Structure 1
Amino acid sequence: MTTTEAPEATLANLAGGYGPTLAMHESAKIASVHAIPYAIPYRKPLNFASGSISVADNVVVQVRTSDGVVGTAEALPRPYTYGETQSSIVAAIEDVFAPSIVGLGLFAREQVRARVDRTVGNPSAKAAIDMAIWDAIGRTLDVSVHKLLGGYTDSLTVSHMLGFAAPAQVAAEAVQLYERYGIQSFKIKVGRRPIQDDIAVCRAVREAVGSQAEIYIDGNRGWSAAEASQAISRLGDVGLARVEELCPADDVLSRRWLVQQCSVPFVADESVPTPADVTREILSGAATAVNIKVARTGFSDSLRVANLAEGLGIPSNIGNQIDGHITTACSLAFGASQRVTARHSAELSNYLDLEDSLLTGPLSIEGGEMRVVDGSGLGFEIDESKLEHYRIDNA
């Protein structure tokens, strides 16, 4: 930039054509950050190797700007994976992160990232703050976050996670999802039962949905490498599209041995909570693909992971942290914004099992696809009466 270049021109370059609007709001600052815990039951629990969820005990995170704009996201407690609970997320945001970022410029996302990263861990709390700031930026500029992130396509193919149950029950659920929503991609949870039981479930689903459907498995680190190798071998005729986190990441040599003999992409998930972990896992030969979950890396670090995946030439999939409606909208916005993630089915449908939604409008799956929500920011609005009903902080 030369010293004679107009500030508005520089802003226009940085904002991809939204410079004049950005110039109007350049002075906007983060005025407050609030964490609101809530609880909505699931119609049925989702059981998997590392845990079980029967209630969405999540945290709505709201970032208010000095212009009065409110950006919203949510944090998902996953104590068995990242060590966070609902209470710890609220405390981290209200007591640690909010005081450190209030007063910063709304567009100073890297400054926000640097300050929250002074505290180790707490990925879900950090991710929710990041996404709420992106939502506030989009609403301030009156443009969708999906477009700000990249705007590659306006829809994604949907994949659904199937939890532990008897083979006939899991297969019936898959058929119902196909008949009602057109979903033809299924992740089957494995790793906690005897191997023959997991194999029986996979075979039942394949028989029920036919050869055209995509099937893959997720072990949530529940098998040893030897058990995983045996299972993959016995499932050869089922036609798995990929496998995910079949054994613990700290079984370093065994994991590399398993990946070397795996004929389909081996997806890293819980083992790659940061971009640095992605680099180490892929370059060490401990995985050949990676899951992106905006619930743990927000939008800013998810962009870093997507860029790493593209640079390393590996598949990158949008994963599901048993997302509620808000995080599903966030996952959709990000996944559809990037070419590397839009190539594959995205896990977007487990919100269907929730008994209620905090959003004023429904999310929609038609023909096995979900379209990006229209509107500024993330495109959704919170139903304040429902938030008041389901919040559990007695505010």
Structure 2
Amino acid sequence: MKITAIEAIPYAIPYTQPLKFASGEVHTAEHVLVRVHTDEGLVGIADAPPRPFTYGETQESVIGVIEKIFAAQLVGADVFARELIHARLHRTVGNPAAKSAIDMALWDVTGQALDRPVTHLLGGYTDRMRVSHMLGFEAPQRMADEASRMRDTYGITVFKVKVGRRPVRLDIDVCRALRETLGDEAELYVDGNRGWTASEAAAALREFDELGMTLAEELCPADDVLGRRRLVQQCRVPFVADESATTPAEVTRSLLGGDATAVSIKTARTGFTHSQRVLFQCEGMGAEVVMGNQIDTQLGTVCTVAFGAAYASSSRRAGELSNFLDMSDDLLTQPLVITDGTLAVRERPGLGVAIDEDKLSRYRQDR
């Protein structure tokens, strides 16, 4: 089965409220829908979420690299020649969202061709994942109110708290308010998006210890080499590398260099193929993983839960699977439903999803 065309369709869907964090804020999902067409009529889909303030990609750059470079390299290639395809993609530096979307769309085609769900092809460990909800910058009571609403409406009891503001006390007060509101049954962990210095983060960690935080992610820049290593040594919970470890090689250097003790895996950044490599490296080195979120749409979330549920180690912790709830609309014909704090995988061939063409026409940006 050969690739005959690759589409890159820009679309934009507003969020009901902006998500704010240390490295920026997002008001609209300006993403790219990627479709891989084949000579047997099967079409694979995936979502590419550009994050210019983190990885340097924009909607325009994703479309440009797919249309001008990747399509020419891949049209005519065998869908199942995964290593050859990745070798061709690897000739171009960077562009993780564009590469990952092509990879996941090809896995979607493979699942359809074999009449098996992608999650089964990957590993098939479980049929669902627990959900973690990400809370962006707001006043303490507003963040506590949102967490309460998520718990009461969806049964979610795991929360990732965005921190990294100055003064540090702002975020400590937020975490304290969340703990007081949710009680001890809720799991809380923090993500600084590199917003603090190592010394600021160390001071925050001492207070976070009292609040029972379970993870600390990217509290300070990884290029503050000595400060970061001292911070990781002091941290009593797993210290998660996210945007500082975006490739399998960076993951290895981060773990061996003492810059982190755990890793966030994001399928929007490493697709399914390289996410497997990251996961297996972490398993071999004894590092925990958490399934992260690129402020994903429902399509992106389908990919995350398909991968996370496929393996024991990636399904052990709650995955960041709920931020599509902050979007005003979505493209899928059958919406995702969070029940009792969990999200089930799609038990249909491939990714098991379809695009609502009327909604795509409404939100696409190239017409």
Q: Normalization by structure 2: what TM-score? A: 0.99
Match among 269, 276, 300 for residue 327 of structure 1: 300
Q: Does 1:278 align with 2:251?
A: yes
Matched residue type, 1:333: A
Give secondary structure in 1 for the equivalent of 2:215.
strand
In structure 2, distance between residues paired with 1:35 and 1:193: 39
Following superposition, the deviation at residue 339 of structure 1 comes to: 1.1
Q: 1:58-137, aligned counterparts within 5 Å?
A: 58-137=31-110
Percent identity of paired positions between Structure 1 and Structure 2: 57
Following superposition, the deviation at residue 192 of structure 1 comes to: 2.4
In structure 2, distance between residues paired with 1:356 and 1:177: 18
RMSD (Å), alpha carbons: 0.6
Q: Does 1:357 align with 2:330?
A: yes
Give secondary structure in 1 for the equivalent of 2:55.
coil
Q: Does 1:155 align with 2:155?
A: no
In structure 1, distance between residues paired with 2:325 and 2:288: 26
Q: 1:382-393, aligned counterparts within 5 Å?
A: 382-393=355-366
In structure 2, distance between residues paired with 1:106 and 1:50: 37
Following superposition, the deviation at residue 193 of structure 1 comes to: 3.3
In structure 1, distance between residues paired with 2:298 and 2:342: 16
Gaps of 5+ in 1: 1-27
Kept in 2, the 8 Å contact 1:245–1:267? The answer is yes
Give per-residue Cα distances to partners, 1:192-212, cap 9 Å, x unaligned.
231001000000111111101
Give per-residue Cα distances to partners, 1:171-190, cap 9 Å, x unaligned.
00000000000000000001
Q: Does 1:311 align with 2:311?
A: no
Larger radius of gyration: 1
Q: Does 1:255 align with 2:233?
A: no
1:49 corresponds to which residue? 22
Q: Does 1:228 align with 2:178?
A: no
Following superposition, the deviation at residue 142 of structure 1 comes to: 1.1
In structure 1, distance between residues paired with 2:208 and 2:7: 47
Give secondary structure in 2 for the equivalent of 1:61.
strand
4+ residue stretches of structure 1 with deviation over 6 A? none
Matched residue type, 1:350: N
Gaps of 5+ in 2: none
In structure 2, distance between residues paired with 1:94 and 1:193: 42
Give per-residue Cα distances to partners, 1:229-286, cap 9 Å, x unaligned.
0000022210000100000011111100100011000000001110000000000011
Matched residue type, 1:265: P
2:345 corresponds to which residue? 372
Kept in 2, the 8 Å contact 1:40–1:56? The answer is yes
Q: 1:174-213, aligned counterparts within 5 Å?
A: 174-213=147-186
